[in-house]
Structure 1
């Protein structure tokens, strides 16, 4: 990715401290339109804190964040959502007694204020078809398998009309075949015109899916580039216990 492409998300020296703990320190990166960008790092690297800063769960101690050229550094979560930022969480928390269709309809109603219920339901059903869940539309959410849960979480996030979608370890807990299906789902999201930023610890998934990779350690960015570039970076090798096997190379 290079100059001339549209920047959809830009972080400039984002930092977050919790008392004396510096969880994220001076993190800067640029996310381009149509790009699948991975954020990786060992446990405690600050990845989830960064995602919470991007989505508005936390406010930064310092730094700046732009979405589609708009300053959202201190914007609440709902404003970020309405401006085009969606998020799917690692731990899915649906409305368990509501149907799958109703859960995704809630996302459509929240993401586009003023949307009428019939329109929201139509969008929700379209997204269930897109994510392979149309045949589960009338089932209660608590009856879904883990893979179906993950698909519903992505559908709920897509229902908010994002331009940028944040994914928090959506492959966690999936079997290899299920993870392969999830990879294809993420690719289809990007192919539909939505830029994707994802956190992941399964390195073969990162290798196969990411256009570029941001590597964090100790709350800081230590490398940015293609998968091949970052996995050859000496600091990255050290962060992953000093072995190529640790990187899943």
Structure 2
């Protein structure tokens, strides 16, 4: 992966909320085509980090480069138009709009100057890719949880990202559903999109991640392949408590 171009580079990112230092001096690099996992116990700062990457929060310190551009002080919209997409853990589609209309909105927002006809066509293509074509005319509130998760990914893909952030998109899914979601993420990677995801389900991390960043108490405590980090004594101690559990 190191020979591939860098798509995302965090340098000393920190975020303070009053007296709480939620993210402290976090640095990592993601390469083109790579699936990078961020793991750690609850409260480790993972979602705060995603909010820093996507522009929801401005860092207290540090810099962020996206596709070669310094976007530290840039808006969510600028980052999206440059090529950063995000799917959220808590899915909030427009409930009374159809599935197709929800994805069309993402397509219209994602790139400046997009027209409605192009956005509709892209939305249909993405519904095919995410297995939702048969549900295109349903109201979003009629979907199952797995279908909701697919819709969230489709809406993020509609912005035509080069880097896609996924915040625990497997949460709440049954094992068979999680495996379907794994296949969806693999197809996203196969289309040339780099993926950074937060996840607690370790078999999913094992199956998907090219590399893993481990956080605890706002800091990066380890980085490497799944095999490397799950054999790191500091990770075992901080995360699940036993090496056997972490490798499950």
Q: Under a length normalisation based on structure 2, what TM-score does the superposition of the two structures give?
A: 0.99
- Give the 3-state SS of the residue equivalent to 1:49 in structure 2: helix
CA distance in 1, matches of 2:75, 2:150: 26
CA distance in 2, matches of 1:240, 1:96: 37
How far off its partner does 1:248 sit?
3.6
* Counterpart in the other structure of 1:45: 44
- Give the 3-state SS of the residue equivalent to 1:90 in structure 2: coil
CA distance in 1, matches of 2:205, 2:54: 21
Runs of 4+ off more than 2 Å = none
CA distance in 2, matches of 1:242, 1:98: 45
* Counterpart in the other structure of 1:196: 195
Q: Is the 8 A contact 2:230 2:247 kept in 1?
A: no
Q: Is the 8 A contact 1:223 1:233 kept in 2?
A: yes
* Counterpart in the other structure of 1:83: 82
* Counterpart in the other structure of 1:138: 137
CA distance in 2, matches of 1:138, 1:245: 46
Q: Under a length normalisation based on structure 1, what TM-score does the superposition of the two structures give?
A: 0.98
- Give the 3-state SS of the residue equivalent to 1:22 in structure 2: strand
* Counterpart in the other structure of 2:161: 162
How far off its partner does 1:244 sit?
1.7
* Counterpart in the other structure of 1:62: 61
How far off its partner does 1:240 sit?
2.0
How far off its partner does 1:22 sit?
0.5
Gaps of 5+ in 1: none
Q: CA RMSD in A?
A: 0.8
* Counterpart in the other structure of 1:72: 71
How far off its partner does 1:44 sit?
0.7
* Counterpart in the other structure of 2:213: 214
Q: Is the 8 A contact 1:36 1:197 kept in 2?
A: yes
How far off its partner does 1:42 sit?
0.5
What is the total number of aligned residue pairs between the two structures? 248
- Give the 3-state SS of the residue equivalent to 1:11 in structure 2: strand
CA distance in 1, matches of 2:201, 2:186: 16
